[in-house]
């Protein structure tokens, strides 16, 4: 089958982060949940992106080479119009996050093929997404092509979560990704200082957190990732921040941008992760470590509803001590008040990962998406 996947970068790294992970998983996944073999040699993937350099950055050189060798092409968005002919056209088109297909491409799609169009939506734990999952959209006026809405989610009825092989960071495993080798040498022994990754949108919330951490006298190695958090830390430190800087018991370490696979490893290797957006939010859950979600701010404060829906699910079966602390952490309350409960929060994170594994009994998002595609193609 020929897949065309469209990625429009709105801001930050998340659009690319999700699309690259999706392509990666689809190219690596040769079975559906019913063990239906999908002949990988015959699958071909084209990822059209309006910022291909960002895909290269997120993938990293080795990751890019590996995935391109599986029959994936990375193409600029504006080459899409010329990419369809009477002989070469896709069977499946995936629009991510409602990005609009290029007009000429859409027109050709209508004339040459009966491609199945799927709109991969944002992840949310809100219950309405379950009822909307899999529904066809009425053809829009602009191109009247039929498309199906595909909603990722945390339950077996949803579209699932992207998973893939999870990194191993157990104590007997001495593997450290190359991109992190130098940084790892700068960390204090794990018995002396806890490791905390900070990949947030920065700003006032982070400044307050740093003040609270400083007051708590807890030895922490803070691995600061992404421009927004780095900028806030720089202002807070009131000095250049290209090398690790210490304040009381804190050590702040500026992180370079690292390939996505290595970033996944980092989340598994830390004791606590501050994450954001969608993709790092999901990876923090697969890491089985406590985390704080800096949710992407939406208009009309819609993100509050999204956060409540997630916490309702995440904390439903939590024991009281872990629950109270995780709730406080997720609401950025005083650090000292919830940090003491890191152990029960960790136990809860491990239990939640097991629950998620069970919810993926029909496979992860890539496998379920293949199921969905086969079902729709069968029905014609
Ligand atoms: O970057 P994000 O905030 O992304 C988004 C976008 O803002 C998007 O428009 C919005 O729709 C969405 O959030 C909700 O956060 P996210 O989703 O966690 O994506 C970050 C990606 O960057 C993720 O795949 C991990 C990757 N990454 C690396 O590969 N290396 C790194 O060093 C870092 C810091 C991140």
Per-residue pLDDT of the chain (380 residues; tens, 9 = 90+): 899 999 999 999 999 999 999 999 999 887 777 766 666 567 899 999 999 999 999 999 999 999 999 889 999 999 999 999 888 899 999 999 989 999 999 999 988 767 999 999 999 999 999 999 999 987 666 667 889 999 999 999 999 999 998 998 776 668 899 999 999 999 999 999 999 999 999 999 999 999 999 999 899 999 999 999 999 999 999 998 999 999 999 999 999 999 999 999 999 999 999 999 999 999 999 999 999 999 999 888 899 999 999 999 999 999 998 999 999 999 999 999 999 999 999 999 999 999 999 999 999 999 999 999 999 988 87
Active site residue 81: no
225 lines ligand 1 (CB under 6 A): yes
Give the E-state strand segments of 151-219 in sequence order: 194-198
Residues in the chain: 380
In angstroms, the CA 364 to CA 251 distance is: 37
pTM: 0.96
Query: What ranges do the domains of the chain cover?
Result: 2-163+361-379, 178-359
8 A C-beta contact, residue 168 and residue 178: no
| Alpha-helix runs per DSSP H in the chain | 14-28, 52-59, 61-68, 103-112, 128-132, 181-186, 204-215, 227-237, 260-269, 279-286, 302-314, 320-330, 335-339, 342-359, 365-379
Which of 4, 43, 278, 294 is catalytic? The answer is 278
State residue 301's pLDDT score.
87
Ligand 1 centre from 31 Cα, in Å? 28
137 lines ligand 1 (CB under 6 A): no
If one looks up domain 178-359 in CATH, what number appears? 3.40.50.2000
Question: Do 2-163+361-379 and 178-359 show the same overall fold?
Answer: yes
The CATH topology of domain 2-163+361-379 is Rossmann fold (3.40.50)
8 A C-beta contact, residue 42 and residue 14: no
User: How far, in whole angstroms, is CA 337 from its chain's centroid?
Assistant: 29
Give the residues across from 120 on adjacent strands: 96, 150
Place of tokens 């391109």: 68
Active site residue 337: no
**Which residue has a Cα nearest atom 22 of ligand 1?**
13
In angstroms, the CA 372 to CA 340 distance is: 45
Residue 97 DSSP SS3: coil
**Strands 147-150 and 136-137, sheet pairing:** antiparallel
8 A C-beta contact, residue 322 and residue 344: yes
């Amino acid at each position: 089958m020929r897949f065309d996947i469209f990625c429009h970068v709105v801001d930050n790294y998340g659009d690319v982060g999700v699309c690259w992970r999706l392509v990666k998983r689809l190219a690596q996944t040769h079975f559906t949940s019913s063990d239906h073999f999908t002949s990988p040699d015959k699958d071909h993937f084209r990822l059209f992106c309006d910022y291909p350099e960002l895909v290269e950055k997120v993938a990293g050189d080795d990751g890019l080479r590996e995935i391109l060798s599986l029959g994936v092409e990375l193409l600029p968005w504006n080459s899409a119009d010329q990419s369809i002919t009477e002989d070469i056209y896709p069977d499946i088109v995936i629009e991510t996050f409602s990005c609009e297909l290029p007009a000429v491409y859409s027109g050709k799609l209508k004339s040459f093929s009966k491609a199945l169009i799927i709109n991969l939506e944002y992840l949310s734990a809100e219950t309405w997404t379950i009822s909307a999952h899999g529904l066809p959209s009425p053809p829009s006026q602009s191109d009247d092509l039929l498309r199906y809405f595909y909603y990722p989610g945390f339950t077996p009825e949803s579209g699932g979560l992207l998973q893939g092989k999870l990194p191993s960071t157990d104590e007997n495993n001495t593997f450290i990704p190359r991109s992190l080798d130098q940084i790892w040498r700068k960390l204090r022994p794990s018995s002396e200082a806890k490791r905390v990754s900070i990949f947030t949108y920065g700003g006032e919330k982070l400044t307050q957190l740093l003040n609270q951490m400083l007051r708590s006298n807890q030895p922490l190695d803070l691995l600061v990732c992404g421009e927004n958090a780095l900028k806030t830390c720089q202002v807070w430190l009131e000095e250049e921040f290209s090398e690790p800087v210490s304040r009381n018991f804190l050590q702040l370490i500026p992180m370079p941008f690292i390939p996505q696979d290595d970033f996944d490893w980092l989340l598994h290797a830390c004791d606590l992760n501050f994450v954001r957006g969608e993709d790092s939010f999901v990876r923090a859950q697969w890491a089985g470590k406590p985390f704080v979600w800096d949710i992407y701010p939406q208009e009309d404060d819609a993100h509050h509803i999204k956060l409540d829906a997630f916490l309702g699910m995440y904390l439903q079966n939590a024991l009281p001590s872990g629950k109270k602390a995780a709730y406080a952490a997720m609401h950025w309350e005083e650090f000292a008040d919830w940090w003491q409960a890191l152990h029960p929060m960790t136990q809860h994170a491990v239990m939640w990962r097991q629950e998620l594994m069970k919810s993926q009994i029909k496979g992860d998002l890539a496998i379920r998406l293949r199921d969905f595609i086969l079902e729709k193609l069968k029905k014609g």
